[in-house]
Structures are given as C-alpha cells and as structure tokens.
Amino acid sequence: MRPALLLPSIAALAAVACINGEVTGGEALSVIANVSECSTTGDACFTWQYLYACYFGPTGVAGCSGQSNCHGSATSLGAETGYWVCGATSDACWQGMTTGMPGLPTLVRSGVAPTQTVLYSALHKSTGKVASAANNMPLASIDTQLPSYTFTPSDLACIEGWIKAGAKND
C-alpha cells in the first residue's frame, strides 16, 4: 500500500469501528489481570487478589479450577484426590486454601514456613523432576500427571510473601 493511502485507510477503519462514540465489532473481553500486572514482584504481588488473578483463578497461568476435573467443586477428581476445592470465586478459592476440607490438612496454615506448606510442595518448580504426589500442580491432564506450568522463582517469591504476611484474603 502506498504511504499516502495508509493514513486515510487507518482513519476510515477507526471511523467504521467506532460509531456514536462506542466501540463496535464484538463483545468486550473480561480481563482479571493483564500480563504486565502479573510480572510484578515485591510487596505488590503479596496479595490474594494478585495470586488469584495471575496464578490460581480460572484465567491464571495455573488455574486450579480451570479444568472440570481439577479443583472446581467437591466432586471434581482433583478435589477428591487432592482434598481441596478452589471453587468458582476468589473468596471460595481462598477459603479452600486456608480452611480446606474437614478432617484434612489445609494447603496454607499460619505459623508454618511457606516452603513447608502443602501448597508450596504441590506447585511445580523447575527442579528437573516431577513427582506424582508433589511438585506437579497444575496438571496438564489427570491421566499423564504432567504439569502444565512451572512456577518461576519470582512466582514462588510472591506466593511465599503472601503466606508470610498471613495468607489474608486481600
């Protein structure tokens, strides 16, 4: 395309896509957190809302309830074998991690070093090995037991910071 036609073409497309001041051409996407928000380190990532949006929620890189057979409800295979439920909301997922299911250990307990929690041991870290009972979450598939995401040192620092700060629903 000739440079002289490029600017008028862009203007025409913009005019067609925006009628009466409203964007048209499709539905807006629901965004919980964008990529730049999920690359934060330090105190900014030590909140439950950050962890849920970036890691554990349905659109997070390690969504606990993202697959129907994971931790979405008490009848999910992942919930039955992994004994905790993330649920469909941020509050339900936080409750599942910090309270757990009756008679079973919780994923996160106050007074326990972050690296000694059930949650931390279950997360897939770049150790070069994958065990069936630990270091494998989130699973790409229940059948293969292979993780779909590897938590980076920055990811783990955010999770550790949240636990050290009391694992609050903030």
pLDDT at 15: 39
Mention every residue, 6+ apart, whose C-beta is less than 8 A from residue 52. 32, 60, 90, 93, 94
What is the DSSP-derived secondary structure letter of residue 69? T
Among 86, 52, 54, 91, which residue's Cα sits nearest to residue 70?
A: 86
What are the average pLDDT values for consecutive 10-residue runs of the chain, which has 170 residues? 43 38 41 59 91 91 73 76 79 89 80 91 74 69 76 94 94
- Report the chain's terminal Cα–Cα distance, integer Å: 52
CB 60 within 8 A of CB 77: no
pLDDT digits (tens, 9 = 90+) for 53-98: 999 988 888 888 665 567 877 787 767 766 778 888 999 889 988 9
Residue with tokens 């007074």: 111
pLDDT at 37: 76
Spatial separation of the C-alpha atoms in residues 51 and 28, rounded to whole Å: 24
pLDDT at 148: 84
Helix (H) or strand (E) holding 6: helix 3-17
Peptide bond into 114 cis (omega under 30): no
pLDDT at 30: 37
Spatial separation of the C-alpha atoms in residues 65 and 79, rounded to whole Å: 9
pLDDT at 1: 46
Spatial separation of the C-alpha atoms in residues 97 and 141, rounded to whole Å: 21
Q: Helix, strand, or coil here: 151?
A: strand
pTM of the model: 0.72
Spatial separation of the C-alpha atoms in residues 50 and 127, rounded to whole Å: 25
One-letter amino acid of 156? L
Distance from chain centroid for Cα 144: 21
